[in-house]
Amino acid sequence: MNKKFKTMNDIIKPVNDEEAIQMLHQFNEDLLPKKFGRIGVIWTIFLCAVIINGLFCYIKQLRYGLSVTGMGDIVSWGIYISNFVFFVAVSLVGSLITAVLYLLNVNWRSPLTRIAEIIALACIIFAGLIIIVDMGRPDRILNMFIHGRIQSPIVWDVIVVMTYMAISFLLLYFPLLPGIAFCRDHIPGIPKWQKWMYKTLSFRWKWKPEQFQIVKRAISILSVMIIPVALSIHTVTSWLFATTYRPGWDSTIFGPYFVAGAFMVGAAAVIAAMYVFVRFYPRYDQYITDKHFDRMGILLVLLSLIYLYFNVNEYLVPGYKMKGDDADYLTELFIGKFAPMFWSVQILGMILPIILLMFKKFRRPFPIFIISVFVIVGAWFKRFLIVIPTLLHPFLPMQEVPEKYKIYVPTYPEWSITFASLAGALLVITVFVRYFPIISIWEVAEERGVSHDVIYKHLNEGK
């Protein structure tokens, strides 16, 4: 059996119902959530510790105000905002893998959809939370709804982020319904509360082929719906900057530039997650194969090339002119104080990955995992470089402000809270993996020729 699924093209379809049922058993055994081993437990405790540390710092921030951060009247937005942009960017991948590849009828996507969706949902939740952390008066958050003004890009952002969160949740939940039912019916010896949770969440799923048809219909409707919303969340997020006058933000291509960057980091995030799952779940390599890494690698190169194209436009065209207001800002990026970060991000986080991933041997699981981590870290610092240097180059000279406002160094509480938000997103994914199948069993079964009728007949036998 093992050999059968080594690569996607060699899938051997079941010849009869008996074999199909046998395959289904194998899928359940391989893919149903299992108790964490030692590493899983340590990882979860580590994430919780980071989050608790962040919560303590946030309480401190609530008490003493945003003065506990490194921000000032010049750099009035710091790593909270760049982290927010990062989260929104990563969350876009849900729509890419689930919707775009679905509509393009890419057949190898099915083991990856749920990974992409849970990353998307976790990130968009923490994007919303980190923006509240950045608020000076979080106690007045309801003013957004009481006094909201439609002219403000922030209101647009709230609307589209909430819509995206809802659609992402549904796009995770509908295909998960049969998965929860698998957990309900096939995990032996689970505690009562867990049984109850599966029972409630599966909404009395009965394995009827009609139910599958409804789920599939829901997925195709949501897949179409999510694409414009996904493009909007990151376009509107880019407008938070592009609707201002500041050199470096005052750009007409910020929308597509952000969307391209988001797809790149999102694809890298999925690759990194794929590697982690394959590494820690011994049988997952039967489902997420080398071929999946290879294909995702090609996709990442394509997306990175698009991003490179936008980067050339965004930096080199103004750099050619060196217009008065842009000149100081660009000089600082190219050869000044931010140059080491700027060139590291551009080279290690974009150009080098493009070159390396063109070669097949770098698209093998381990090398591509390392490259993806570089892309993700690079993408985080890229958002830093989009937000902070611009604020340090206002139109009027930085005079009559305290010296500490003229530089920006994030403080310990600020880093703690930022890391806590990243840990929070990872914890959501971790907890999800502990209790739900991260690879969609029924979609894999369907891809490998196990029909819904077989599943229905088999699972209702003896009842």
Partner 1 sequence: MTDDSKQDNKRDGKNDRRDFLRKSLLTGGILAAGAFGFEKVFSADKQSGEKVKVLTADGKLVEVDSAHITESGPCCTSPKESRKGIPGRKFVMVIDLAKCEDTQKCQKACQKHHFLPQQDKWLKVFKMQESPETAPFWMPKPCFHCDHPPCVKVCPVDATYKREDGIVLIDNERCIGCRFCMAACPYSTRSFNWSEPILPAEHAKDCYSPETSVPRKKGTVEKCDFCPDMLRQGKLPHCVTACPNSVYYFGDLNEDTVTNGDETVRFSELIRKKSGYRYLESLGTEPSVYYLPPVNRIFPFEDRAEDKNG
What is the binding site for partner 1 (CB under 8 A)?
A: 64-67, 69, 71-74, 76-77, 134-138, 140-141, 143-144, 146-149, 151-155, 158, 240-241, 243-246, 391, 394-402, 405
Q: Are 75 and 200 in contact (CB under 8 A)?
A: no
Of 88, 45, 38, 353, the C-alpha closest to 237 is 88
Minimum distance, C-beta of residue 153 to partner 1, in the bound complex (Å): 6
Q: Are 99 and 167 in contact (CB under 8 A)?
A: no
Output phi, psi for 28, to 5 deg.
-60, -45
Minimum distance, C-beta of residue 211 to partner 1, in the bound complex (Å): 42
The span from the first CA to the last CA of the chain, in angstroms, equals 29
C-beta of 2 vs 151, nearer to partner 1: 151
C-beta of 119 vs 387, nearer to partner 1: 387
Minimum distance, C-beta of residue 421 to partner 1, in the bound complex (Å): 17
- C-beta atoms surrounding 76 within 10 Å: 12
Residue 435, judged by CB atoms within 10 A of its CB (0-12, 13-18, 19+), counts as middle
Identify the DSSP state of 296: H
For residues 344 and 4, give the distance between their C-alpha atoms in angstroms, rounded to a whole number.
Answer: 43
224 CA to centre of own chain: 19
Minimum distance, C-beta of residue 290 to partner 1, in the bound complex (Å): 46
Residue 383, judged by CB atoms within 10 A of its CB (0-12, 13-18, 19+), counts as buried
C-beta of 74 vs 308, nearer to partner 1: 74
Minimum distance, C-beta of residue 396 to partner 1, in the bound complex (Å): 5
C-beta of 283 vs 406, nearer to partner 1: 406
Of 439, 453, 432, the C-alpha closest to 201 is 432
Minimum distance, C-beta of residue 167 to partner 1, in the bound complex (Å): 23
Output phi, psi for 75, to 5 deg.
-90, 85
H-only helix segments in 202-323: 209-242, 254-280, 290-311, 317-321
C-beta of 290 vs 326, nearer to partner 1: 326
C-beta of 68 vs 376, nearer to partner 1: 68
Question: What separation in angstroms does the CA of 409 have from each of 133, 384, 387, 414?
Answer: 18, 12, 13, 10
Question: What SS3 state is found at 224?
Answer: helix
Minimum distance, C-beta of residue 414 to partner 1, in the bound complex (Å): 12
C-beta of 7 vs 243, nearer to partner 1: 243
Minimum distance, C-beta of residue 242 to partner 1, in the bound complex (Å): 11
C-beta of 198 vs 239, nearer to partner 1: 239
C-beta of 147 vs 192, nearer to partner 1: 147
Minimum distance, C-beta of residue 258 to partner 1, in the bound complex (Å): 16
Q: Residue type at 448?
A: R
- C-beta atoms surrounding 132 within 10 Å: 11
